[in-house]
Amino acid sequence: MCGRYFQQRSSGDIARHFGTRNATPNLVPSFNRAPTQDGLVVRRHPDTGARHLDALRWGLVPRWAKDASGGAKMMNARSESVAEKPAFREAFRKRRGIAVADGFYEWQMLGPKSKQPFAVAMADGAPMPLAALWEGWREPDGTILRTFTILTTAAAPELAVLHDRMPVILPPEAWDAWLGADEADEAALLALLKPYPRKGLAVWPVGSRVGRVTEDDAGLIERDPLAQPPTGLDDPPPRFA
């Protein structure tokens, strides 16, 4: 799953990395982004074909929803059912995007009331491109609320000790197909929604403060010196390029 992530780069740096063409949104970076907060999403403009970077609210609200209160529960969508589930199937066909993070958090359960948080980032320090869907919902006053959800898949085997799910990370060669710039049928799109190889990721334990959504500073992604992580899940935090 993906219930919390961090984006420490500026919107401008992200816009340059993805080659977006619209005015860059003024979204303040966050080390503890949570559902119902705004996040950066790369989308393809339907008329020009250019990539755009926009700030959308995390937690998808389907067009047919009576109100927006259920959005937080739709922060994630399971890739195995995304083409059929009513809340996501139209967005899967027509409104795919890339949610941009620098990494995400996951919690390893140590006991009934004990858990160890971990940070997961790209091993080379690059931005982390997460497969997403977006939607527009009309509010009672006529304004459009644009929201997104992050797709998940089975965790890479080495990460399953933390959680059995992980967000779908899209390599650069998949971006055009996912965004709709390259033609791809449903089967080809679903084939992109697979676990990212462990060797391409950096994983390390972090402190428990990240569990409090009010905490938001660079110290959240520092390695927890008191943690005793499982073998193979204690990489040095990357230098974010």
- Give residues with Cβ within 8 angstroms of 56, minimum separation 6: 38, 39, 41, 97, 134, 146, 147, 148
Q: Which segments of 75-224 does DSSP mark as H helices, in order?
A: 89-94, 175-179, 186-191
2 noted as active-site residue: yes
CA distance linking residue 37 with residue 57, whole number of Å: 6
Q: Is 106 a catalytic residue?
A: yes
- What gap in Å lies between CA 59 and CA 173, rounded to an integer? 27
Strands 128-138 and 51-58, bridge-based pairing:
unpaired
Given 2, 80, 135, 186, which residue is catalytic?
2
| Structure token pair of residue 53 | 């970077």
Task: Check 90, 106, 135, 139 and give the catalytic one.
Answer: 106
- The residues annotated as belonging to the active site are 2, 106
